[in-house]
Structures are given as C-alpha cells and as structure tokens.
Amino acid sequence: MFDGTGQLIVVKSPQPNARPAMDHPQPPESDQHDVNRMHSPIMREHSEPADGREPMPIWLIIVFGAMLLWGGWYLGQYSGHFRGDVLDERAADRAAYPRRDLDPDLEIDPLVLGRRVYTLHCMSCHQIDGMGLEAQYPPLAGSEWVHGSPRTLARIVLHGLHGPIEVAGEVYDDQMPGHGDQLTDLRIAAVLSFIRTAWGNDAPPVDPRLVREVRLEHAGRRASWTVTELREAEATEHPAAEQTTTPPAEPEPASP
C-alpha cells in the first residue's frame, strides 16, 4: 500500500500458526537452589548393576577351592589308582582260580571274604547283626539251621528256599532267592563260614570243595528248596559228608 506521499509501505501479514512473542523469565535463585537440592541425592546413587557382571564373593571362591582340594584328596585315597579290577567282585576269585577249579592249598582268609559277600548279598534281609527282621526274615544268630548241616546251607544258598521254616521257635514264610549263578564255590563257602562264626555262632567253617560237591550233585535243579525237601536230602547223606573242617595240614616230613 502507499502512504500520502506516494511511498510504498510494505506490511507483513502474520504467520497463521505464529504465536505472540513472550518473554521467558528466569526462575528465581531460590527455585534453582531447590532444584539442585532435590537432584543431589539422585546424583549420589550408583548406576544400576548389570546382570551377570557382579564379582564372585571371596568366601564362595574359598569354599569352591576347599571342595576341589578335598575331592582331589578323596580320589587319591580311594580310587584304587583307577584300576579296572578294584570294584570287580570276582577279581579275587579269578586270580585265585584261573580255571575256576578249587585249590585246597590256597591261603585265603574266608572270614574276610565271607563278610564282604554277606554285606553285598545277605545283609539287606538278615541285617548287620544277623537278627533278621521280625515276621519277615529269620535270624542267623543262634539259628539251629546255621549250626546244622553245611550241605543243607549250601543247598539253600545255591538254589534258594521257599515255604514256611521254623527258626528259634518262630515260623517264617518268605522266599529266599538262590545265588548259585552269582557266587562261586569259594564265595559261598566263605559266606557260610562267616555266618557260622559270627554273632556268637560257633560252628566249623565250610570247605569250598563241599560246596562244589553239592553244586554238582544238584546240577540240574532250578527250583528252590522247601524244608521237607531239605530234610529228605539230609536223610540220604552219608555221616562223613557232615564234616566241615578245612582240609588237614600236610604231614610234616620225617626227619632224616
């Protein structure tokens, strides 16, 4: 547009979305101080820890180290030098009888071997003290069967027993499995010798050759025994077969 003198006057139109200019007053100094005071505790906080980056406590490192040292010591003491025959139950038998035949001159403590066989195969029923479990498994301590015929005991261990049996005035009616397929003649003789001398029992030990004779005598038998069958087998035995002592020592050579 033009003014009265003919000069051109340029008038700027306002922008559609323009806002009127406003002065932004500065906050008072007291407000600024309050803001700083409010944020100062936040500034003192530590940063949030990241998962998996925490250091392991010293006490835990000590515990793990002690367990590692103990484990190494335990393996060194009880590993048996990592030999394959350490946990083999029949390694002693194979070493003693490479052809699985009996050697009467073999020097071996049957009670040590018998205790081990008893622990592995018999203790779960007859218990560590040989007293068995009431109304379930008969006792071996003070049993007339343990003090009786060793051939009868060998038959029971070889083939098992079922049906009622009277022990120390009490009747038991359970089933005992046979161990003839698991134990050698040496081991059966050893465990029988052990139970005949343990817990106050006082009966002669059993010769492994006797166990072998009984095994061969009933080689075709697969069924377990009953008390009636055991008594019938005892009645047919020769009195000399009841002897259970170990083989007599060789006579001393005559002096020249």
Indicate which CATH number applies to the domain containing 230.
Answer: 1.10.760.10
Token look-up 């049906």 returns 163
Residue-level pLDDT at 17: 56
Which residue has better confidence, 41 or 104? Answer: 41
235 lies in some domain: yes
Tell whether 246 is covered by a domain.
Answer: no
27 in a structural domain: no
Mean pLDDT of the chain: 76
Count Cβ atoms within 10 A of the Cβ of residue 111 and give its class: 0-12 exposed, 13-18 middle, 19 or more buried: middle
Q: Residue 191: its pLDDT value, please? A: 92
Residue 118 has pLDDT above 60, yes or no: yes
Looking at per-residue pLDDT, the higher value among 191 and 55 belongs to 191
The pLDDT value recorded for residue 87 is 57
Look up the pTM and report it.
0.53
Residue-wise burial string across 210-225, b where 16 or more C-beta atoms lie within 10 A, e elsewhere: bbbebbeebeeeeebb
Mean pLDDT of 204-226: 89
Residue 170 three-state SS: strand
Residue 172's domain comprises 91-241
Is 21 among the domain residues?
no
Q: In whole angstroms, what is the distance from residue 221 CA to residue 154 CA?
A: 13
Mean pLDDT (whole number) for 171-196: 89
**CA separation for the pair 48, 27 (Å, rounded):** 32
In a domain, 232, yes or no: yes
Number of structural domains, the chain? 1
- Decide if 54 is inside a domain: no
In-domain check, residue 77 = no
47-74: b (≥16 Cβ within 10 Å) or e: eeeeeeeeeeeeeeeeeeeeeeeeeeee
Instruction: Tell whether 9 is covered by a domain.
Output: no
Which token pair is 173? 């009616």
